[in-house]
Amino acid sequence: MSLIDGLLLTLVNTVACLMLPKLLSVILADRSNAEVATQPVSSSEIS
């Protein structure tokens, strides 16, 4: 493997490690917001 291949692989890995957690947090936040929106609202509150 040449030096350019190693640098390119390192760059791709760096971008993936930086972007995947952000992408997952956005996807999971959207999913949890959708679940909260579909839950029925309780008419009795404890004060």
pLDDT in tens, 1-47: 799 999 999 999 999 999 999 999 998 888 777 766 666 666 666 65
Q: Which amino acid is at 11?
A: L
The residue behind tokens 């291949």 is: 5
The pLDDT of residue 21 = 93
The pLDDT of residue 40 = 63
The pLDDT of residue 29 = 87
Residues in the chain: 47
The pLDDT of residue 17 = 96
Rounded CA-CA distance 7/41 in Å is: 54
What is the pTM assigned to this prediction?
0.53
For CA atoms 3, 9, 10, 15, the dihedral sign is positive
Q: Which two tokens stand for residue 37?
A: 């929106």
